[in-house]
Amino acid sequence: MTIVKDLAKMIDHSILQPTHTDEDLLTQCEVARKFDVASVCVKPYAVKTAVSKLTGSSVAVGCVIGFPHGNSSTKVKVFEAEQACIDGAKEIDMVINIGKTLGGDWDYVENEIKAVTDICHRNGAIIKVIFETDYVTKTEDKIRLCEICTRVGADFVKTSTGYGFVKQPNGDFNYKGATLADVKLMRKYSGPGVQVKCAGGVRTLDDLLKMRTAGATRSGATATEAILTEAMKRFGENIF
């Protein structure tokens, strides 16, 4: 595999903006097919359409669960994940219960991650557990989450949703998303069977390359076309 194709297979092309229409979904699925990325990551109602659009390609369909703030009950998250699998999703990105994590209710957090992990695996899907590092900021909490995900058999730990907006000193809301420090920490404290996905703020080829060096094997991206077009120029490869 060439370096550009390898980078393409790192990318989960995100189609998650609240304003995306069905037409936008189809357009972005075509971008994913064109560049032969690892997957698209779509909202639950869009799974069937994405599966239909990407039939015959090697692009998997992924789905977010409890998105973006993780507030659904465990039972609802399990139902939502199972329904996404029934609809054809092969990858599930679930947001943890952030409030329970910040409050230190680790039994609840572990039981929920395990319940969703188990239903995904029973349905032949992989699971990526989103920590939302803009909210979960303490190193010890992130380490604890890595240990939990390793223990319950999750496939990926993931930094962010890209929607973890925090009020800034000037009153605006913004987010950091994935950082190199968090990717390195998550790689260090997750077991060898757990991969790391970065998401939120990975907008350039250099961003993607730095995250790969730090230990990420997947990255969420909306700037897929720009990133891979730049990669083809820089590395002198045409993947079409």
Angle between helices 224-235 and 205-214 (to 10 degrees): 90
The tokens describing 138, both together, are: 């303490």
Give CA–CA dist 8/31, Å, rounded. Answer: 11
Residue 87 bears catalytic tag: no
C-alpha span between 151 and 160 (Å, rounded): 21
Q: What residues form DSSP beta bridges with 39?
A: 12, 60
Question: Would residue 93 show up in a list of annotated catalytic residues for this protein?
Answer: yes
96 by Cβ neighbours in 10 Å (0-12 / 13-18 / 19+) ranks as: buried
Distance of CA 125 to the CA centre of its chain: 14
Contact 94, 80 (CB under 8 A): no
Determine how many CB atoms are found less than 10 A away from the CB of residue 192. Answer: 6
Catalytic residue among 141, 158, 182, 207: 158
Q: Which residue has the tokens 């998105």?
A: 67
**Residues 40 and 224 sit within 8 Å (Cβ to Cβ):** no
**CB 226, CB 168: distance < 8 Å:** no
Cβ atoms 159, 131 nearer than 8 A: yes
Query: For this structure, is 197 an active site residue?
Result: yes
Q: Which of 77, 182, 197, 207 is catalytic?
A: 197
Q: Which of 53, 90, 93, 134 is catalytic?
A: 93
Catalytic residue numbers? 93, 158, 197
